[in-house]
């Protein structure tokens, strides 16, 4: 199967185009990324998965053995954790069974795309804010109980 190179391949490299797409969808272009998959990244030919000034990331790239000859790698994994945004490129391997039998790990090279200036904590997330509201409610209930406004059943 040969991927047809249409206008997408030109526009995905243009930061201004990607920023306009983000704005159209109500995203903040200064903090957002578009993550794109199912398009092989030809690392062997010097192609990078990071496009449009880091605004668009192509994370597919060939985990399928059939594509590994074309791409030169076994795909990408995009990782976001409390420290930042990272991209791991996986080296090719014969099969999962071979890795298990030989007791070796799949080899990967990780690139830091964006380091957080301060580590993100649970309290900084939507879930963390929900938990904090529950804690605040429980404290208010405890205060009301101690003040005699709420009686024990």
For residue range 76-120, list pLDDT tens digits in order. 889 999 999 999 988 877 777 888 899 888 888 999 999 999 998
What mean pLDDT do residues 10-26 have?
96
pLDDT of the residue at 50? 95
DSSP the chain: ------THHHHTT-HHHHHHHHHHTT--TTT--EEE-SS---GGGT--SEEGGGTEEE--S--SHHHHHHHSSS-EEEEEETTEEEEEEEPP-S-HHHHHHHT-PPPEEEEEEEE-SS---GGGSHHHHHHHHHHHHHHHHHHHHHTTSS---
Residues 37-60, mean pLDDT to the nearest whole number: 89
16-20, 57-61, 78-82: the lowest-pLDDT one: 57-61
- So what's the pLDDT on residue 25? 97
């Amino acid at each position: 199967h040969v991927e047809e190179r249409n206008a997408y391949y030109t526009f995905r490299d243009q930061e201004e185009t990607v920023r306009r797409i983000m704005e159209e969808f109500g995203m903040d272009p200064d903090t957002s990324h578009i993550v794109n998959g199912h398009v092989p990244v030809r690392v062997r030919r010097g192609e990078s998965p990071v496009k449009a000034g880091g605004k668009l990331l192509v994370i597919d790239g060939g985990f399928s053995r059939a594509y590994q000859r074309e791409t030169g790698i076994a795909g990408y994994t995009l990782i976001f954790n409390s420290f930042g945004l990272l991209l791991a490129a996986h080296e090719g391997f014969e099969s999962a069974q071979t890795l298990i039998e030989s007791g070796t790990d799949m080899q990967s090279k990780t690139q830091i795309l964006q380091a957080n200036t301060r580590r993100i904590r649970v309290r900084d997330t939507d879930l963390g804010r929900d938990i904090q509201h529950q804690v605040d409610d429980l404290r208010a209930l405890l205060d009301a109980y101690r003040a005699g406004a709420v009686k024990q059943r």
